[in-house]
Amino acid sequence: MKVAQDKKRHVDSGTVVRVLKRIIAENGRDHIRGYAFAIFCLVVVALSTAFTAWIMESVVNEAFANRRADMVLVICGAILAAFVLRGFATYGQAVTLSKIGNNIVARYQRRLYKHLMTLSVGYFAEARSAHLAAQISQNVNGIRDVLNLTVTSTARDLLTLVSLIGVMVSKDWVLSLIVFAVAPPLLYALRYVSKRLRSATREAIETNSRVLGAMQETVQGIAVVKAFTMETELDNKVSKIIDTAERRANRIARLSERTSPLTETFAGFAISSVLAYAAFRSIYDNVPPGAFFSFVTALLMAYDPARRLAKLQVQIDRAVVNAQMIYALLDMQPAQREKPNARDLVVGPARVEFKNVVFSYAGGGPILKGVDLMAEGGQTTALVGQSGAGKSTIINLIPRFYDPAEGQILIDGQDIADVTKSSLRRQLAYVSQQPYMFEGTIRDNIRYGRPDATDTEIEEAAKLAYAHDFIVAQPEGYDTPVGENGMTLSGGQRQRLSIARALVRNAPILLLDEATSALDNESEAAVQKALETAMHGRTVIVIAHRLSTVVKADKIVVMHEGLVVEQGTHEELAQRKDGLYARLNNLQSPDRAI
């Protein structure tokens, strides 16, 4: 098992090539001009660096050996021009590659967000949101790094190294052979380090995402943490994760920096050998020092690009691991894919019908076991039953948050599996039992129900939801920021804003999943009056645990263990002495929960 996991974690050379080809295919054409300019600048950097080493022979021989004053100004002017040119070229490539890299990061952030919106609710139910957000934030830079490392290493470091090697060979080929003799063992050692670093990088990314995820969850649930005095337990839990992340980071540091002693040792051996050979030739053979100084200058200048190239595979492997995890998410196919011939939903009376619907969540037993029910158009259908009976599942199936395993869900005789999801959801307004507020103002959160709604329509919806009075009492009225997930508002206020958001949508089908669960009795009574007005002429499917919210429904559907066991009005069901609804009704007063 461990061997299989290790194989899975490794990124082989074939994977690196495939990821690199994909990144270039997706981004190269759009930035070809920018990369061409950056490569031109990098070529200038490489050639000016090689020129500086090449001209050192003239500096030493003409200025110090031959003592030609007329050549000093020419040589110094050429060196100055080379350095100025290299400075501007370095600036140009750095700014260009940064702009391209920032654009690539922004592009993939947009792609990721858009792709996440296509995934089903089931995916998000299984994936931890904090863990997902942390992984995305850590990995999205990998694609930019792969391209930038490839361009800079090829156009600058490789060309600089080749140019300087050319200078070295032209000055003294014997000394060049001494240097080349140490390259093969160095490359072998670096390849070994790189293979070990791949696995460590992936483990570190996963562990770091767990750290960020745990911290985010603690911040979001801080009230529960403090209420249950969970600080010590969570501190111990997060500390263990942080310790693991620290060990992973230390391992990566050890592996990454092993290239330094390797390259320094081999470089020291090469340079000391070269110096010894050149010194003996100068002492015993009286060889002029100009070529030697030029060679040594080229050798020393070649050290930095050679060192960067030696680390390139390590850096590319790390970036490819990041990019691969991003592509794994982008390549994930939505579980609910629309049919090729899907058409728009056409709504008339908005009648909703379930025919022998069977459904179970991933990894669980059946929740719905052949449900048949009809919600007549323009009427209110209430779903009641004990927890786990399948009421919320029915609500979730209508917008196609999930698809049933068997059976059909029809709206005005049209199977919702045959229509586009966007046209289906435009005909629905949804209020969940856990109201969610987005970053922005109160007005923004209501307007999400219908982006083209006017301020007047937003305020009218707020009045219908009995939210207007508390809104105008806020410091900035409708323009008051709600804070993270509406933390500045009470639960009842958030629920009323959620209802206002559904009302402003003005859709023919209204889904209320315990929409008044967070309200006190007085607020619930007020909202119920508003909902009665808003429900008029619409098809409403409502879940409620309080009988007071369903007694006026046109039809009550009683569910038990995934089946519809009773249907009828409140009066009809209450008179069935042996019925489940009658027993629930007898166990409570109208203001108590079922």
Return the HEC string of 373-391.
EEECCCCEEEEEECCCCCH
The verdict on residue 5 lying in a domain is no
Evaluate whether residue 73 is within a structural domain: yes
Asked if residue 203 and residue 58 are part of one domain, the reply reads yes
Residue 40 placed within a domain: yes
User: ∠ CA 521-523-524 to the nearest 5 degrees?
Assistant: 60
Q: Number of helices (H) and strands (E) in the chain: give both, helices first.
A: 24, 10
First to last CA, the chain: 50
Q: Would you tell me how many other CB atoms lie within 10 Å of the CB of residue 167?
A: 26
Final residue before a domain boundary, out of 506, 525, 546: 506
> What is the predicted pLDDT for the residue at 479?
93
Q: Is the pLDDT of residue 2 over 50?
A: no
Phi, psi (degrees; rounded to nearest 5) at 560 = -150, 120
Strands (E) located in 9-54:
none
Whether 158 is covered by a domain: the verdict is yes
Beta-carbon neighbour count of residue 295 at 10 Å?
25
- Distance CA(492)–CA(464), nearest Å, equals 15
More confident residue, 67 or 18: 18
Same domain for 71 and 194, yes or no, is yes
Indicate which CATH number applies to the domain containing 304: 1.20.1560.10
Last residue of a domain, one of 270, 295, 330: 330
Q: Please check whether residues 315 and 454 belong to one and the same domain.
A: no
Global model pTM greater than 0.85: no
What span, in angstroms and rounded, lies between the C-alpha atoms of 167 and 291?
10
305 & 156 share domain: yes
Q: Which amino acid is at 139?
A: N
**Nearest Cα to 375, choosing from 411, 348, 344?**
411
Two tokens at 24?
């270039």
pLDDT digits over 461-484, tens only?
998 888 898 999 998 999 999 877
Range of the domain at 488: 437-506
Least confident of 100-114, 290-304, 334-348, 439-453: 290-304
10: pLDDT confidence band, cut at 50, 70 and 90? very low
Banded model confidence at residue 533, pLDDT cuts 50, 70, 90: low
Give 557's strand partners: 383, 567
Q: Taking 80 as the threshold, does the pLDDT of residue 449 lie above it?
A: yes
Q: For position 527, what pLDDT does the model report?
A: 66
Residue 314, in any domain of the structure: yes
Asked if pLDDT for residue 86 goes beyond 90, the answer is: no
CA distance 58 to 391: 89
Percent of the chain exceeding pLDDT 70 equals: 81
CA-closest candidate to residue 317, choices 27, 19, 104: 19
Q: What is the average per-residue pLDDT within 518-543?
A: 74
Determine the pLDDT at residue 12: 60
Average per-residue pLDDT in the chain? 80
314, 330, 346: which is the final residue of a domain?
330
Give pLDDT, residue 3: 35
Mean pLDDT computed over 539-549? 78
Q: What is the pLDDT of residue 329?
A: 84
Query: Which has more pLDDT, 1 or 350?
Result: 350
Query: How much is the average pLDDT of 109-128?
Result: 80
Residue 286 lies in a domain: yes
Q: Looking at residue 583, what is its pLDDT?
A: 80
Higher pLDDT, 340 or 526: 340
- What is the count of structural domains for the chain? 2
Does residue 44 fall inside a structural domain? yes
Mind listing the pLDDT tens digit for each residue in 547-557? Answer: 666 788 889 99
Asked if residue 441 lies in contact with residue 478, where contact means CB atoms within 8 angstroms, the answer is yes
Q: Which residue has the higher pLDDT, 5 or 572?
A: 572
Judgement on whether residues 23 and 157 belong to the same structural domain of the protein? yes
Average pLDDT over residues 338-344: 87
Are residues 444 and 325 both part of a single domain? no
pLDDT of residue 202: 66
- pLDDT more than 90, % of the chain: 17
- Does the residue 378 lie in any domain? no
Beta carbons of 157 and 44 less than 8 angstroms apart? no
Of 382 and 520, which is predicted with more confidence?
A: 382
Tell me the per-residue pLDDT of 187-228, one tens digit each, with 9 for 90 and over: 666 666 666 666 676 677 677 777 777 777 777 677 677 766
